[in-house]
């Protein structure tokens, strides 16, 4: 087919040119696991009898984003593929728990040791369980873990255009990644079940330090069959034969490569098929999967189909039964459609607070939004409560800093956040006051600004020039948020002597402007998320070499930079939370973003899907581990999440 | 004829290169950095220094660090040898990306083409013969409705009618989710999923062609040779099909040829609504994601197809009407 197409195109041109447990039942039934965190109500009085989870059934998950052919991390960033990776690539040593923390998985790691070295580096030594096997029954050894890091950090993978940053935090990465050395000094293969990773001194200490010990195995016997890894004590050394040519056959070959057809996996599910024509991936339960966490959780759903759906007809597909789960639904219109189906007894639903928000973001390096007062004034002239209500149809909340309502840091500081942060309530008079206090008191001729006579305020700058209070807003087309801001924000600007000039542009162009220090645009409409980790020390650094993709507020504030930089090194959770609050207060004071809405996401699903309890910090694939299929279930349920 | 064809081919090569330069220039003028799509965005928040290096490497690998004329020459050289470049959106060679969409688009358009002409030609002839009859007027009204309604409205109406109210057809996709059919069963499932987009595509195309056929037949039936044929006592069927229709075919051939070219052109609206993975959506997605290698390859493919189509149309004219000579 490929050749035919090439021929056709070239010819034409050249013519012109479970939840079952490890062995025994864990006793932690699927239902038990949800009741502690959610309140569940049923449309009927009570569920008729208890249903136990049994392995079996099929679920079709509808996704509005594309599922692409990549079944190997390193090439795609598609959210759905990320979910697939988590289902296919298992036995990760350190993983994200359902209690929102990173922990060693006791089913995988039987012993671990953290060693502080004299040179400031730190070694994480791990012994893996001896009963881990690939889906074909082949034992998983420490070599597969070391291989995973070496492979995904290698020059050879880079030659195939894959991301090779996996081992960037470990000692010796640069030499291995550049192809300079065949030894990765920061990795040690100690014995068949023990290996270690050594983290660079300049990466320590680190709040998420345990994630340095997060390693996933890759089947060396499939991906580099004639290669070997040895260790003479100076690091893991790859044998000869590990070449780009080899990986282009074993991984990148479009017909047989592991990238498109991972035949042997370690995760909860095995890969069954990918249909590019139908935008669909099919996974089948891995009966060799041992389980995860203390409770030894195993999936119960036999077959998972991930299929693309059109947002306009997704609810119809759910009603017609062609999909079983439609997760992450936002916006009043769509949610109300789903709730109508719930009222008709056709679907169940669960909701949760998003770990992120939609926002107006400022550039703080050029005028007039280099002034905190101007940014605050913009916030004051927008009725954010009404905006959130209109945009989300009531299924959203306001936030006042850089956080999402499901973040653990927010939960730890909830009271203080709600009382101590400035909410910038809609008030035109306050907006005028902050502008006047900041010197925006002149008109175009340098005289005093007179309300009703002059249109735009001006401020005398240090060089004697007059700067107009004109904010250039880079906005995207076909965007309901932009439409609403055009009616709720832009008309209010002249009422305080301000002018907001929207310029509609393609999203990619907006990103380019966002990443350009000194861009002519002051304001951007975007959305952001805080899952599962945050790195504010990069986002607010005063080092201008980081401005752009990292610090895209272009903010240079010593206090904010100091607070966020300190966060990076805090390992203690209480200290971290306290510092996080400081960061939020400063962020709020500087008004770097105007958070517009934080959605309450909804998942709608057919009644056969039981015990599906989503939250803002886990994706559907992580939630599905605790769910099961009951083909006889007909009652619909409503689960209100946090 | 041979001399004419050689001249046309030379002309096509000239046009191809002019268009390719224009396309390349427009592509390079589009704002945005394609290299951003090549780099794992998570790296920006975990290791900015590595991210910067990766970004530079991506620019180098895409050839963006070279002067524009060099970039053009390299791209054209590769294209002419069948190397259409690397899709930054799909992270694989362009040729591996377009296979499935092309197959789906050609299948849908080909069936639609067959259906449209199978319906419109006999219907147009009958309408012309029974001009101003109730039948003709009903066909006229129906064709105007089909012609006037936006495709997306028709699509949603048909989904509502035939997938929700009368659940006969599936709403979207090309196969039953999770099915593992093979052989005929697989083909049957594919055709079952194609039904609704095919019906919509056909319904929306009927109006234009129908009216064209009808008008061409009415013109032909007014000609003197038809009166002569009837005066000679020929049977009405012979008059209509052998004399009138053959002459009416000349303008219809133009339409058929241009439609044949459009077999490779995907409908963004139909493909998006029915999630029919075709070339229209692929092109749109490539444009949105600054996937220049992909959309340049597709656009140049369309340029070639259009140039060839025009040539084909001229040759078809010659065949349909012996009076036409290519010079």
For A268-289, what is each residue's pLDDT tens digit? 999 999 988 888 999 999 999 9
Q: Are A89 and A265 in contact (CB under 8 A)?
A: yes
Q: Would you say residue B292 has pLDDT above 90?
A: no
How far is residue A408 CA from its own chain's centroid? 15
Q: Which two tokens stand for residue A359?
A: 């926002």
Cβ-based contacts of B304 with chain A (< 8 Å): 12-13, 15-17
What pLDDT, in 10s, does the model give residues A204-225? Answer: 999 999 999 999 999 999 999 9
Residues A372 and A495 in one domain: yes
Note whether residue A44 is domain-resident: yes
Q: Would you say residue A191 has pLDDT above 90?
A: yes
CB contact under 8 A, A161 and B301: no
CB contact under 8 A, A16 and B13: yes
Q: What is the chain A residue with the closest CA to B290?
A: A508
Residues A378 and A493 in one domain: yes
Across A21-28, average pLDDT: 41
Cβ-based contacts of B99 with chain A (< 8 Å): 1-2, 5
* CA distance, residue A64 to nearest chain B CA (Å): 10
Cβ-based contacts of B39 with chain A (< 8 Å): 163
Strand A236-238 relative to strand A183-184, pairing: antiparallel
Q: Would you say residue A45 has pLDDT above 70?
A: no
Q: Are B95 and B301 in contact (CB under 8 A)?
A: no
Which of residues A185 and B96 earns the better pLDDT score? A185
Q: Which residues contact A104 (CB under 8 A, 6 or more apart)?
A: A93, A94, A112, A126, A210, A213
Query: What is the per-residue pLDDT for A30?
Result: 35
Q: Which two tokens stand for residue A193?
A: 């079940």
| CA atoms within 13 A of residue B13's CA, in its CB half-sphere | 9
Q: Would you say residue A4 has pLDDT above 50?
A: no
Q: Would you say residue B122 has pLDDT above 50?
A: yes
Q: Least CB-CB distance to B171: which of A158, A320, A507? A: A320
Query: What is the per-residue pLDDT for B46?
Result: 59
Say whether B130 sits in a helix, a strand or coil: coil
CA distance A35 to A54: 19
CB contact under 8 A, A550 and B99: no
Interface test with A, best of B21, B27, B177 (most A CBs within 10 A): B177
Query: What is the per-residue pLDDT for A18?
Result: 36
Q: Which of A191, A214, A248 is the last residue of a domain?
A: A248
Query: What is the per-residue pLDDT for B45?
Result: 58
Query: What is the per-residue pLDDT for A399?
Result: 94
CB contact under 8 A, B307 and A16: yes
Residues A94 and A176 in one domain: yes
Across B6-26, average pLDDT: 91
Q: Which two tokens stand for residue A338?
A: 């789903």
Q: Are A586 and A557 in contact (CB under 8 A)?
A: yes
Look at phi and psi of residue A379 and say left if phi exceeds 0, alpha if psi is from -120 to 50, else beta.
Answer: alpha
Query: What is the per-residue pLDDT for A332?
Result: 86
**What do you get for the CA distance between the two ends of chain A, in Å?**
50
Confidence of residue A32 (pLDDT cuts 50, 70, 90): very low
Average pLDDT, whole number, for chain B?
A: 86
Q: Are B213 and B252 in contact (CB under 8 A)?
A: yes
Residues A237 and A272 in one domain: no
Across A48-62, average pLDDT: 75
Query: What is the per-residue pLDDT for B160?
Result: 93
Asked which of A36-40, A378-382, A435-439 is least confident by mean pLDDT, the reply is A36-40
CA distance A596 to A602: 19
Q: Which two tokens stand for residue B276?
A: 């029919």
Reported pTM? 0.82
Compute how many other C-beta atoms are within 10 angstroms of the C-beta atom of residue A509: 17
Across A302-316, average pLDDT: 93
Place of tokens 């259009």: B306
Q: What is the CATH number of the domain that holds A195?
A: 3.90.76.10
Cβ-based contacts of A506 with chain B (< 8 Å): 31-32, 288
Look at phi and psi of residue B47 and say left if phi exceeds 0, alpha if psi is from -120 to 50, else beta.
Answer: beta
Q: 3-state secondary structure string, A508-567?
A: HHHHHHHCCCCCCCCEEEEEEECCCCCCHHHHCCCCHHHECCCECCCCCCHHHHHHHHHH
Residues A118 and A241 in one domain: yes
CA distance A542 to A393: 39
Across B305-309, average pLDDT: 87
Query: What is the per-residue pLDDT for B327?
Result: 62
Residues A139 and A178 in one domain: yes
CB contact under 8 A, A9 and B301: yes
CA distance A182 to A77: 29
Cβ-based contacts of B40 with chain A (< 8 Å): 74, 77, 163, 165
CA distance A632 to A505: 51
Helix (H) / strand (E) containing B311: helix B292-320
Query: What is the per-residue pLDDT for B209?
Result: 85
- Tell me whether residue A131 is exposed, middle or buried, using C-beta atoms within 10 angstroms of its C-beta: 0 to 12, 13 to 18, 19 or more: exposed
CB contact under 8 A, B308 and A12: yes
CA distance A167 to A152: 7
Q: Which two tokens stand for residue A391?
A: 């945009």
What pLDDT, in 10s, does the model give residues B52-74? Answer: 777 888 888 888 888 999 999 99
Query: What is the per-residue pLDDT for B29?
Result: 85
CB contact under 8 A, A5 and B51: no
What pLDDT, in 10s, does the model give residues A492-525? Answer: 999 999 999 999 887 877 887 888 888 899 999 9
Q: Are A485 and A594 in contact (CB under 8 A)?
A: no
Query: What is the per-residue pLDDT for B316?
Result: 78
* CA distance, residue A450 to nearest chain B CA (Å): 40
Q: Would you say residue B126 has pLDDT above 60?
A: yes
Percent of chain B whose predicted confidence (pLDDT) is above 70: 96
Q: What is the chain A residue with the closest CA to B91?
A: A75
Task: Tell whether the torsion through CA atoms of A222, A224, A226 and A232 is positive or negative.
Answer: negative
Residue-wise DSSP of A175-187: HHHHTS-SEETTE
Note whether residue A75 is domain-resident: yes
Place of tokens 């979207």: B172
Q: Least CB-CB distance to B44: which of A278, A512, A550? A: A550
Average pLDDT, whole number, for chain A?
A: 89
Query: What is the per-residue pLDDT for A5?
Result: 43
CA distance B39 to B47: 12
Q: Which residues contact B187 (CB under 8 A, 6 or more apart)?
A: none
CB contact under 8 A, A2 and B99: yes
Residues A49 and A184 in one domain: no
Q: Are B201 and B276 in contact (CB under 8 A)?
A: no
Residues A387 and A461 in one domain: yes
Query: What is the per-residue pLDDT for A41?
Result: 39
Interface test with A, best of B91, B168, B310 (most A CBs within 10 A): B91
Query: What is the per-residue pLDDT for A287?
Result: 95
* CA distance, residue A62 to nearest chain B CA (Å): 10
**What do you get for the CA distance between the two ends of chain B, in Å?**
7
Residues A231 and A104 in one domain: yes
Across A12-19, average pLDDT: 39
Cβ-based contacts of B62 with chain A (< 8 Å): none
Number of helices (H), then strands (E), belonging to chain B: the values are 14, 2
Q: What is the chain B residue with the closest CA to A14?
A: B80
User: In terms of Cα–Cα distance, which of A469, A470, A400, A472 is closest to A438?
Assistant: A469
E strands of A227-374, at which residues? Answer: 229-231, 236-238, 269-275, 280-285, 301-308, 325-329, 348-353, 356-362
CA distance A544 to A555: 9
What pLDDT, in 10s, does the model give residues A584-605? Answer: 999 999 999 999 999 899 999 9
CB contact under 8 A, A12 and B305: yes
Q: Would you say residue A9 has pLDDT above 80?
A: no
Q: Least CB-CB distance to B104: which of A6, A277, A506? A: A277
Of these ranges, A525-529, A573-577, B24-28, B113-117, the one predicted with the greatest mean pLDDT is A573-577
Note whether residue A459 is domain-resident: yes
Alpha-carbon Rg for chain A, nearest whole angstrom, is: 27
What pLDDT, in 10s, does the model give residues B174-195? Answer: 999 988 899 999 999 999 999 9
CA distance B7 to B172: 47
Residue-wise DSSP of B233-276: T--HHHIIIIIIHHHHHHHHHHHHHHHHHGGG---HHHHHHHT-
What pLDDT, in 10s, does the model give residues A249-266? Answer: 999 888 899 999 999 999
Q: Which two tokens stand for residue A279?
A: 């935008």
Q: Least CB-CB distance to B95: which of A5, A12, A550? A: A5
Q: Would you say residue A193 has pLDDT above 90?
A: yes
Which of residues B249 and A387 earns the better pLDDT score? A387
Cβ-based contacts of A256 with chain B (< 8 Å): none
Compute how many other C-beta atoms are within 10 angstroms of the C-beta atom of residue B103: 18
What pLDDT, in 10s, does the model give residues B188-228? Answer: 999 999 999 999 999 988 888 888 889 888 988 888 988 89
Cβ-based contacts of B13 with chain A (< 8 Å): 16-17
**Domain-by-domain residue ranges, chain B?**
33-83, 97-320
Which of residues A508 and B301 earns the better pLDDT score? B301
Task: Tell whether the torsion through CA atoms of A221, A227, A231 and A232 is positive or negative.
Answer: positive
Residues A449 and A582 in one domain: yes
What pLDDT, in 10s, does the model give residues A474-489? Answer: 998 888 899 999 999 9
Q: What is the CATH number of the domain that holds A548?
A: 3.10.105.10
Residues A211 and A316 in one domain: no
Across A372-389, average pLDDT: 96
Percent of chain B whose predicted confidence (pLDDT) is above 90: 36
How far is residue A454 CA from its own chain's centroid? 46
Place of tokens 């020059």: A155
Domain B97-320: state its class: mainly alpha
Query: What is the per-residue pLDDT for A307?
Result: 93
User: In terms of Cα–Cα distance, which of B199, B111, B124, B189 is closest to B155?
Assistant: B199
Backbone dihedral angles phi then psi of residue A511, each to the nearest 5 degrees: -60, -40
Domain enclosing residue A224, as ranges: 90-248
Number of helices (H), then strands (E), belonging to chain A: the values are 21, 27
Confidence of residue B47 (pLDDT cuts 50, 70, 90): low
CB contact under 8 A, A282 and B178: yes
Q: How many domains does chain A have?
A: 3
Cβ-based contacts of A12 with chain B (< 8 Å): 301, 304-305, 308
Residues A362 and A341 in one domain: no
Q: Are B320 and B311 in contact (CB under 8 A)?
A: no
* CA distance, residue A85 to nearest chain B CA (Å): 15
Query: What is the per-residue pLDDT for B41?
Result: 65
Note whether residue A254 is domain-resident: no
Q: How far is CA B82 from CA A8, A15, A81, B78, B88, in A?
A: 9, 12, 30, 6, 18
Q: Are B284 and A66 in contact (CB under 8 A)?
A: no
Q: What is the CATH number of the domain that holds A36?
A: 3.40.190.10
Place of tokens 């790195």: A535
Query: What is the per-residue pLDDT for B285?
Result: 85
Which of residues A38 and A341 earns the better pLDDT score? A341
Cβ-based contacts of B263 with chain A (< 8 Å): none
């Amino acid at each position: 087919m490929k050749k035919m197409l090439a021929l056709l195109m070239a010819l034409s041109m050249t013519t012109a040119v479970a939840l079952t447990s490890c062995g025994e039942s864990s006793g932690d039934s699927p239902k038990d696991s949800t009741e502690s965190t959610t309140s569940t109500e049923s449309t009927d009085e009570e569920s008729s009898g208890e249903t136990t989870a049994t392995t079996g059934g099929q679920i079709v998950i509808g996704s509005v984003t594309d599922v692409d052919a990549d079944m190997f991390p390193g090439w795609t960033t598609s959210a759905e593929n990320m979910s697939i990776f988590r289902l296919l690539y298992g036995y990760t040593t350190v993983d994200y728990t359902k209690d929102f923390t990173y922990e060693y998985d006791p089913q995988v790691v039987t012993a671990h040791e953290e060693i502080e070295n004299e040179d400031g580096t730190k070694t994480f030594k791990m012994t893996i369980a001896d009963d881990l096997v690939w889906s074909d029954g082949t034992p998983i050894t420490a070599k597969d873990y070391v291989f995973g890091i070496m492979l995904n950090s290698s020059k050879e993978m880079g030659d195939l255009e894959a991301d090779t940053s996996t081992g960037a935090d470990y000692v010796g990465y640069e030499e291995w990644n550049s192809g300079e050395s065949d030894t990765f000094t920061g990795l040690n293969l100690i014995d068949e079940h023990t290996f270690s990773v050594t983290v660079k001194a300049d990466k320590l200490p680190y709040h998420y330090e345990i994630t340095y010990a997060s390693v996933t195995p890759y089947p060396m016997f499939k991906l580099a069959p004639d290669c070997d890894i040895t260790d003479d004590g100076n690091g893991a050394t790859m044998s000869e034969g590990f070449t780009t040519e080899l990986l282009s056959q074993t991984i990148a070959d479009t017909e047989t490569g592991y990238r498109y057809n991972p035949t042997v996996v370690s995760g909860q599910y095995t890969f069954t098929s990918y249909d590019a024509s139908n935008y669909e991936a099919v996974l089948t339960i891995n009966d060799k999967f041992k389980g995860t966490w203390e409770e030894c959780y195993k999936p119960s759903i036999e077959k998972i189909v991930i299929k693309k759906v059109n947002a306009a007809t997704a609810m119809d597909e759910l009603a017609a039964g062609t999909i079983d789960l439609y997760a992450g639904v936002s916006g009043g219109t769509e949610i109300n459609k789903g709730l109508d189906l719930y009222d008709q007894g056709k679907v169940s639903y669960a909701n949760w607070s998003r770990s992120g928000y939609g926002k107006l973001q400022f550039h703080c390096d050029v005028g007039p939004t280099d002034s905190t007062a101007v940014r605050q004034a913009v916030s004051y002239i927008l009725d954010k409560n009404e905006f959130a209500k209109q945009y989300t149809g009531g299924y959203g909340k306001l936030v006042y800093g850089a956080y999402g309502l499901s973040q653990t840091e927010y939960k730890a500081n909830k009271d203080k956040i709600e009382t101590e942060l400035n909410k910038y309530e809609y008030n035109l008079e306050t907006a005028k006051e902050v502008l006047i206090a900041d010197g925006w008191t002149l008109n175009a001729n340098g005289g005093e600004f007179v309300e009703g006579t002059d249109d735009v305020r001006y401020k005398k700058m240090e060089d004697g020039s007059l700067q107009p209070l004109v904010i250039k807003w880079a906005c995207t087309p076909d965007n309901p948020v932009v439409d609403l801001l055009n009616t709720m924000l832009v008309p209010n600007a002249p009422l305080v002597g301000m002018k907001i000039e929207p310029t509609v542009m393609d999203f990619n162009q907006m990103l380019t402007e966002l990443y350009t220090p000194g861009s002519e645009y002051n304001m951007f409409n975007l959305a952001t998320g805080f899952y599962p980790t945050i790195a504010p020390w990069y986002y607010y650094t005063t080092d201008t070499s980081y401005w752009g993709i990292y610090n895209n507020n272009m903010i240079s504030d010593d206090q904010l930079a100091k607070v966020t930089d300190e966060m990076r090194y805090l390992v203690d959770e209480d200290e971290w939370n306290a510092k996080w609050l400081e960061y939020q207060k400063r962020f709020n004071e500087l008004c770097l973003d105007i958070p517009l809405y934080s959605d309450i996401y909804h998942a709608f699903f057919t009644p056969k899907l039981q015990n599906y309890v989503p939250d803002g910090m886990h994706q559907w694939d992580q939630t599905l581990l605790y769910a099961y299929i009951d083909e006889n279930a007909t009652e619909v349920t409503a689960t209100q999440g946090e | 004829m041979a001399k004419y064809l050689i001249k046309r081919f030379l002309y096509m090569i000239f046009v191809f290169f002019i268009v390719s330069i224009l396309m390349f220039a427009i592509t390079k003028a589009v704002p945005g950095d394609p290299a951003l799509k090549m780099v794992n965005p998570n790296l920006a928040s975990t290791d900015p220094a590595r991210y910067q290096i990766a970004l530079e490497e991506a620019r180098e690998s895409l050839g963006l660090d070279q002067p524009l004329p060099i970039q053009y020459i390299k791209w054209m050289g590769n294209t002419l040898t069948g190397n259409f470049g690397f899709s930054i959106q799909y992270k694989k060679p362009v040729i591996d990306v377009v296979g499935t969409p092309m197959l789906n688009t050609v299948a849908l358009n080909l069936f639609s083409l067959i259906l449209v002409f199978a319906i419109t030609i006999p219907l147009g002839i009958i309408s012309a013969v029974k001009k101003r009859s109730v039948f003709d007027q009903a066909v006229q009204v129906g064709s105007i409705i089909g012609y006037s309604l936006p495709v997306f409205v028709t699509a949603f109406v048909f989904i509502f009618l035939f997938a929700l109210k009368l659940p006969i057809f599936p709403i979207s996709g090309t196969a039953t989710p999770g099915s593992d059919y093979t052989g005929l069963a697989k083909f049957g499932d594919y055709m079952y999923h194609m039904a609704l987009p095919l019906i919509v595509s056909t319904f929306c195309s009927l109006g234009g062609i129908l009216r064209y056929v009808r008008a061409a037949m009415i013109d032909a039936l007014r000609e003197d040779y038809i009166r002569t044929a009837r005066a000679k006592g020929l049977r009405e069927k012979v008059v209509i099909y052998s004399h009138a229709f053959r002459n009416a075919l000349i303008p219809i051939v133009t339409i058929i040829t241009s439609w044949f070219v459009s077999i490779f052109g995907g409908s963004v609206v139909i493909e998006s609504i029915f999630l029919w993975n075709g070339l229209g959506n692929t092109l749109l997605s490539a444009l949105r994601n600054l996937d220049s290698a992909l959309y340049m390859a597709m656009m140049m493919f369309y340029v070639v197809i259009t140039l060839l189509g025009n040539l084909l149309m001229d040759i078809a004219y010659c065949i349909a009407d012996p009076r036409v000579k290519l010079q």
